[in-house]
Amino acid sequence: MTTSGETARAGAGSGLVAAEDVLLFVNAAITATGQREFRTTAYQQQLSLDFLHEYVRVNYRRVYAAALALDINDHNAARIVQGLLETAADATAEEKRTEGLLIAARLAKLPPQRVYRLFRALRGAKVNNRRTRAIMRDWLAARPDRAHDAVKYRSGLKTAARHVHLRFDEPDETGDFLFRPGRRPRYRHRLLDAWRRAHYEQRAVDELPFTVAEGFAARHGMKREVFLERAAPRMTRLERLRSLGQRTAGDGAPLPQGVDLTVMPLTRLALYVLSLGSGARRLHREELTRALRAAARRAAGPHTGSWGRVAAVLDDSYSSSGSGEKRRRPLAVALACHFLLEALAAPGTYTALWTSGGTDPLLVRPWGPTPLGIRVLDALEHGPDRLVIVSDGWDNAPPGLAGEVLRVWRTRLDPDRRTAVVHVNPVYDADGFDVRHLAPGVPTAGIRDAEDLPALVEIAQFAEGRTGTAALYAYLDRQVARFTGEHRGVAA
């Protein structure tokens, strides 16, 4: 027979385990995409994610759904939606209602191609219940131009339309375009007819969306440089950013014209900067630095200058080169965090320490070992109010020094926590089902885009075990309410 005290301790213990499980899943959902990382294969990543998704969905279904309201990546958001719809029979009526709101809100944020891929997966899995069809129909009805989707996402719209038995009534020509392409000699809709004419008329290529026009341009033998220049006005912002990588400036070349670097998202801008040669970065130092600082100020928003004295330990070791699928992504996150932390710190109080010992952030490159412990010691000597470590957590020069330094600092030198320490990690560790941690007393959060840093620091506090499980679920409550516009509870 247990006493009330034992029961309370058991309840607290189970609550702590639940909180750890939730944070573990959130870290994975932010960082992991099922692609190869520096130290793990794509298969290992996918296998690890498969386990985590099933474990959390079965044991913490409401939390699993609530993750859709957090800043997780699109890959895991789509997987959560699919998992919820495939197992709808396991949910209560109230859970289904909350899940429906979350799914609708998340689908509205996902890129259309990702949503159409999800619909194709649902059809392949034979998920054809009324709720799923209603969600798909509502999303399709909210699309601003169905004909545009028919041209740009032809197979995706075709699959979705078949799955939900979508009707195409006159004067909508999209049904004929998708299912009876030879029925009409021409189309009234400009894009539909441009697609028809592009098969034999090169001028029609200029009227099509960029990704569709690419194929026709190759078919007509158009030079890539000429095509990109003519297609620039029709590109989306993301397509424009991607095209920058195809027109990377050489060491003495000017930067691509017609693209305002100051409006680019911070992490994507950092990736672009790292794609340039060192000569080009030196040549365009002023323009690139100005753009990075503008993006950082925009990302910092109301938090600008509010973090007091900030010291950062930034990992530019060889492992920050990433993988073939995520080339230089960890280093780009560190570079973006550098400029963001500079904006968040009180003016003139920011200190940056790169693991390589370099002092010029614009010329960083993946190189050398990871002496995190030494850099952490250097950072703490500055007496910061906040220490932020951006690293994959593989401390190897010497191994384990960073964890020991942080343990001693927290337990003996700073037990009152005058310095807030947080570790953000851009790399998912498939073997550990989490991002790699440095020390038990230091909160660690997964990060994909530097822009999410202020929100991730808030999530990381729950990993310290001082705020309590109730506070974590209250936080999820607020995020769900914000995301869906309706106050719904997320029960433990």
Mean pLDDT taken over the chain: 88
Between CA 338 and CA 352 the distance in angstroms is 7
Residue 68: which of 57, 58, 81, 51 has the closest Cα? 81
The per-residue pLDDT for 335 is 98
In which band, very low, low, confident or very high, does the pLDDT at 489 lie, cut at 50, 70 and 90? very low
* 3-17, 22-36, 89-103, 420-434, range with the lowest pLDDT: 3-17
The per-residue pLDDT for 198 is 94
Greater model confidence, 460 or 297:
297
- Give the sign of the dihedral formed by CA 72, CA 331, CA 354, CA 244: negative
What structural domains does the chain harbor? 198-235 (no CATH), 247-304 (no CATH), 305-468 (3.40.50.410)
In which band, very low, low, confident or very high, does the pLDDT at 256 lie, cut at 50, 70 and 90? low
Q: What is the mean pLDDT of residues 359-387?
A: 95
Greater model confidence, 18 or 349:
349
The per-residue pLDDT for 330 is 96
Indicate if the pLDDT at residue 466 is higher than 90.
no
The per-residue pLDDT for 204 is 93
Q: What is the mean pLDDT of residues 434-458?
A: 90
Predicted confidence (pLDDT) per residue in 192-202, tens digit? 999 999 999 99
* 16-20, 144-148, 470-474, range with the lowest pLDDT: 16-20
The per-residue pLDDT for 250 is 52
The per-residue pLDDT for 415 is 87
For the range 249-252, what are the long-range contacts, defined as Cβ-Cβ under 8 Å and sequence gap of 24 or more? 249/276, 249/277, 249/280, 249/284, 250/277, 250/279, 250/280, 251/277, 251/278, 251/279, 251/280, 251/283, 252/279, 252/280, 252/283
pTM of the prediction? 0.87
The per-residue pLDDT for 196 is 94
Angle at 83 between CA 80 and CA 89, to 5 degrees: 135
Predicted confidence (pLDDT) per residue in 218-241, tens digit? 999 999 888 888 888 888 777 776
The per-residue pLDDT for 2 is 36
User: β-strands 420-425, 444-446: how paired?
Assistant: parallel
In which band, very low, low, confident or very high, does the pLDDT at 11 lie, cut at 50, 70 and 90? very low
Q: What is the mean pLDDT of residues 50-66?
A: 94
Predicted confidence (pLDDT) per residue in 155-213, tens digit? 999 999 999 998 888 788 999 999 998 888 999 999 999 999 999 999 999 999 999 99
Between CA 432 and CA 365 the distance in angstroms is 27
Indicate if the pLDDT at residue 16 is higher than 70.
no
Between CA 350 and CA 156 the distance in angstroms is 48
